[in-house]
Structure 1
Amino acid sequence: MLNEELIIDLYRVGAIKFGRFKLTSGIESPFYIDLRLAITYPGIYKRLVKLMAESLSAFNIDVVTGIETASIPWASMIAYELNKGIVYVRKEVKEHGTAKLIEGDLKTGMRVAVIDDVITTGNSIIRAIRIVRDHGGDVVVAAVFIDREQGGLNAIRREGINAFALFSVIDMIDVLVNNGLVSNELRNSVIEYLVKNRVSTGA
């Protein structure tokens, strides 16, 4: 199965890691998803971009929006694949030039897909959605490659936005278990962690 091969390839290049990792929230996690590594490998990069572009093709979007910085390479290639434009949301207003929060030509009423690589709480995507809306964009979908299954997609849906992920972390681990790459014990420890650390709100 193609997607199983893709998950295994992500694991083998180190984009899916197991151990002890401190997240930006300060919480310690037994796994880490690093899709910044994947863009170094054209075969993986292309397959992920194609999968996402195919998933977004039903939404009749005008522009793809990335979030500074990790999702910009993904949003750029997805937009290219779909023959759409790209804009991106900055982390903060730059102190020079035009002092924009959104780079690119976002026009009022444009149908927008907001893209990110991995979702945990959904906070960064929700912030981007609100900024795009404030600038006149019509966000019709938010999409990520991997859902850490800690409540982020539901938080986005509470904003009235369609939201989906190509892969969930448990589905990915199941593929790795079934192929003898990680143990059932590790899978169970990840599930235990997710149950204890699921967020209740993304706002």
Structure 2
Amino acid sequence: MLDEGLILDLYGIGAIRFGRFRLTSGIESPFYIDLRLAITYPSVYKRMVKSMAEALSGLNTDIIAGIETASIPWASMIAYELNKGLVYVRKETKEHGTAKLVEGDLRQGMRVVVIDDVVTTGSSIIRAIKAIRGQGGDVIAAAVFIDREQGGLEAIRREGINVVSLARVTEVIDFLVNRGLISDDLRNSIIDYLVKMRGTTST
């Protein structure tokens, strides 16, 4: 779990916002989690990296994998913290050089943990898992900081992959309500949205 101080800091720097936002997936959302802001704040960045490294420390892994572009700074620092190698998965195969989709020295049978910052539908992580498997890697887990609770974890698990999540968005929202930072009405509207989205993704 992300500790309460980190949640407050993320809210304070605007990494957790409320309003109307269109996500990469095209879905409209009443909240937005932008953890790219956190890498600009060393204290927040370090503490989040340490939290994830501690959560992953018991896994027998060789390589940490990032996904172009948002998760690369997270994967890089988590790999450094765990003293593991790093690879990253491109959005598209590059048209020159070795034309690889996975950059770095990924070898047959290496045990890999895929890192992403936030999970919504799980499609980015699933794509990365398939790319790594396609180059001989053995993906043993995926890990995210915050689960938006819109079916992403379930989709990843259907690929046979365990997922580590440090926080669910409802936990974050409940904490912010309890601290008087957002209203009960806003919380309830977000819960209604999540229930509706879960119904949409399950059909």
TM-score by length of 2: 0.96
Identity score, percent:
75
Secondary structure of 1:17's match? Answer: strand
Q: Which stretch has the larger CA shift, 51-60 or 74-83? A: 51-60
Structure 2: which 5+ residue stretches go unaligned? Answer: none
**In structure 2, what is the equivalent of residue 75 of structure 1?**
75
Secondary structure of 1:154's match? Answer: helix
Secondary structure of 1:140's match? Answer: strand
**In structure 1, what is the equivalent of residue 202 of structure 2?**
200
CA distance in 2: counterparts of 1:72 and 1:34, whole angstroms: 14
Contact map agreement 2:2 2:167 (CA 8 A) in 1: no
CA distance in 2: counterparts of 1:189 and 1:119, whole angstroms: 20
Q: Which amino acid aligns with 1:45?
A: Y
Structure 1: which 5+ residue stretches go unaligned? Answer: none
What is the CA distance between 1:2 and its match in structure 2?
7.6
**In structure 2, what is the equivalent of residue 137 of structure 1?**
137
CA distance in 1: counterparts of 2:119 and 2:40, whole angstroms: 21
Q: Which amino acid aligns with 2:71?
A: S
Q: Deviations over 1:86-120 (max 9, x none)?
A: 00000001111111100000011111000000000
Q: Deviations over 1:107-153 (max 9, x none)?
A: 11111000000000000100100111111111000000010000100
Runs of 4+ aligned residues of structure 1 deviating over 3 Å after TM superposition are: none
What is the CA distance between 1:23 and its match in structure 2?
1.2
CA distance in 2: counterparts of 1:142 and 1:99, whole angstroms: 25
**In structure 2, what is the equivalent of residue 106 of structure 1?**
106
What is the CA distance between 1:24 and its match in structure 2?
1.9
Q: Deviations over 1:151-173 (max 9, x none)?
A: 10011111111112101111001
Root mean square deviation of aligned Cα: 1.3
What is the CA distance between 1:26 and its match in structure 2?
2.0
Q: Which amino acid aligns with 1:200?
A: S
**Does 2:188 align with 1:168?**
no
What is the CA distance between 1:178 and its match in structure 2?
0.8
Q: Structure 1 residues 2 and 71 mapped into 2: Cα distance closer, same or farther (>3 Å)?
A: closer
**In structure 2, what is the equivalent of residue 95 of structure 1?**
95
What is the CA distance between 1:28 and its match in structure 2?
1.2
Q: Structure 1 residues 105 and 117 mapped into 2: Cα distance closer, same or farther (>3 Å)?
A: same
Q: Structure 1 residues 129 and 13 mapped into 2: Cα distance closer, same or farther (>3 Å)?
A: same
Q: Which stretch has the larger CA shift, 189-198 or 78-87? A: 189-198
Query: 1:56-71 counterparts in 2 under 5 A?
Result: 56-71=56-71
CA distance in 2: counterparts of 1:200 and 1:109, whole angstroms: 34
Query: 1:116-135 counterparts in 2 under 5 A?
Result: 116-135=116-135
**In structure 1, what is the equivalent of residue 18 of structure 2?**
18
CA distance in 2: counterparts of 1:101 and 1:134, whole angstroms: 10
Q: Which amino acid aligns with 2:106?
A: L
Secondary structure of 1:115's match? Answer: strand
Aligned residues: 201
Q: Which amino acid aligns with 2:78?
A: I
CA distance in 1: counterparts of 2:39 and 2:2, whole angstroms: 18
